[in-house]
Amino acid sequence: MPKIPIIDLRAQYLTIQEEIDAAVRRSIEKTAFIGGEEHEAFEREFAAYTQVRFCAGVANGTDALVLALRAMGVGPGDRVLTTPYTFIATVEAITLNGAIPVFADIDPVTYTISPEAVEKAIESMPSAERATVKVLLPVHLYGQPAEMPRLLEIAARHGLMVLEDCAQSHGATIGGRKVGSYGLAATYSFYPGKNLGAYGDAGAIVTNDPVINEKIRSVRNHGRTDRYFHTVEGVNSRLDGIQAAVLRVKLRRLDEWNRLRREFASLYDGELSTCHRIVRPIIDEGAVYHLYTIRHPERERLREFLAQEGIAAAVHYPLPLHLQPAFSRLGLAEGAFPEAEAASRDVLSLPLYPEMGADTVRFVAAKIREFEES
């Protein structure tokens, strides 16, 4: 019995092997390890793909968030409003800038930050605290776009800048317009398992704002304006030439891969529609299904059953960030964000990747039906 992984990067490599090998070889032959033509070309192509003016490549998606918040002027004493139900990097980027995270609960249907909860969080703050909130940071989780039009309206009313975390949503759209083009800036991760993944760590910030773009370009490269002339204290967070070359090859496939993800998501949706204990993700033509995450009241038993059948499944995420020991100093207790907590208890991500094929989707779904009927 073949094992079914959550994602299969080797299967993907085999479909693009010649082009990847040639791109890597080209980078090495040109010794274009840092910067170079491929790097500049990728920045141009990814900005165009995201429908924004500027793209700055950086070392990873976490740095992208850290540098974007810094370029937006977020520092000690400032507050950033975000979701407790995301990968920890979103919130690390806030605290690494010395700022304070403020959480608003998620919408249980989209798993993204709830506009009502954002409004309530702002309104329930004492006015001195409210004045320190600078940025609203929604995450398009699992490839599902957050409700950007409403979030932008709330942010505008309260004078907040908006930064989108697009680490799980390369190519996702709202009404045909790409996520990442709504906020003042947006960040991407090209961690290998993301919808657009490098062959190592990589990330980027996109923006239409020339000032933010210039700040990030300087800070990511030691605050340089010339080789040994530094206007500000920066960091070393650059996108490698070889990674840029790999990303260029893969960017050309991204729309097709996302189309397959959507196709398999809707196939799962139909195949699991008779399982009444399962909550399926919404079908949204703008979503890119980085993960296909269901809810089940007996999540652990289902996961063990699937594991015995050779099918991998994973929990994204087992503990919301406000309950993580790393953020215990925020003093938030269980019950603070009930929707995030409820999701953490019963979500389960099923195998979903462009190379898996419809038969494998049907096979996984049939095994889940078997579990439900036993």
Closest approach of Cβ 191 to ligand PLP, in Å?
Answer: 4
Phi, psi of 30 (to 5 degrees): -85, 0
Both tokens of 268, joined, read 């799962």
Q: Which is nearer to ligand PLP, 193 or 270 (CB)?
A: 193
**Binding ligand PLP by CB under 6 A: which of 42, 46, 85, 191?**
191
Both tokens of 356, joined, read 């898996």
Pairwise CA distance, residues 75 & 95, whole Å:
9
The DSSP secondary-structure symbol of 314 reads B
For ligand PLP, what does the binding mask look like between residues 85 and 124, x meaning CB under 6 A?
A: -xx-xx----------------------------------
- What is the identity of the amino acid at 371? F
Instruction: Kindly tell me the sign of the dihedral angle through the C-alpha atoms of 104, 152, 101, 57.
Output: positive
Both tokens of 126, joined, read 């004492």
Closest approach of Cβ 209 to ligand PLP, in Å?
Answer: 21
Pairwise CA distance, residues 60 & 236, whole Å:
11
Pairwise CA distance, residues 29 & 204, whole Å:
25
**Binding ligand PLP by CB under 6 A: which of 84, 203, 241, 320?**
203
**Binding ligand PLP by CB under 6 A: which of 78, 164, 165, 341?**
165
| 161 forms part of the interface with ligand PLP (CB under 6 A) | no
* Window contacting ligand PLP (CB under 6 A); options: 161-169, 212-220, 306-314, 357-365: 161-169
Closest approach of Cβ 283 to ligand PLP, in Å?
Answer: 22
Q: Which is nearer to ligand PLP, 90 or 144 (CB)?
A: 90
* Window contacting ligand PLP (CB under 6 A); options: 123-131, 160-168, 214-222, 292-300: 160-168
List the beta strands (DSSP E) in the chain.
54-58, 79-82, 100-103, 133-137, 161-165, 173-174, 177-178, 185-189, 203-207, 224-226, 229-230, 292-295, 347-350
Asked if 179 and 172 count as a contact pair (C-beta separation under 8 A), the reply is yes
Q: Which is nearer to ligand PLP, 111 or 268 (CB)?
A: 111
Pairwise CA distance, residues 145 & 141, whole Å:
7
**Binding ligand PLP by CB under 6 A: which of 62, 112, 195, 213?**
62
Query: Which residue's CB comes closest to ligand PLP?
Result: 61
| 61 forms part of the interface with ligand PLP (CB under 6 A) | yes
Q: Which is nearer to ligand PLP, 187 or 360 (CB)?
A: 187
Closest approach of Cβ 166 to ligand PLP, in Å?
Answer: 8
Q: Which is nearer to ligand PLP, 102 or 139 (CB)?
A: 139
| 145 forms part of the interface with ligand PLP (CB under 6 A) | no
Residues 244-303 that bind ligand PLP (CB under 6 A): none
Q: Which is nearer to ligand PLP, 89 or 294 (CB)?
A: 89
Pairwise CA distance, residues 66 & 19, whole Å:
33
Neighbours of 356 (CB within 10 A): 21
Q: Which is nearer to ligand PLP, 62 or 360 (CB)?
A: 62
Per DSSP, helices labelled H in 30-114 are 37-50, 61-71, 89-96
Closest approach of Cβ 114 to ligand PLP, in Å?
Answer: 17
| 339 forms part of the interface with ligand PLP (CB under 6 A) | no
Closest approach of Cβ 193 to ligand PLP, in Å?
Answer: 8
Closest approach of Cβ 167 to ligand PLP, in Å?
Answer: 3
Residue 267's beta-bridge partner residues?
Answer: none
Query: Which residues 6+ apart lie within 8 Å of 20 measured at CB?
Result: 13, 199, 246, 249
DSSP 131-190: TTEEEEE-B-GGGPPP-HHHHHHHHHHTT-EEEEE-TT-TT-EETTEETTSSSSEEEEE-
Closest approach of Cβ 337 to ligand PLP, in Å?
Answer: 17
| 138 forms part of the interface with ligand PLP (CB under 6 A) | no
Give contact residues for ligand PLP (rule: CB under 6 A). 60-62, 86-87, 89-90, 139, 165, 167-168, 189, 191, 201, 203
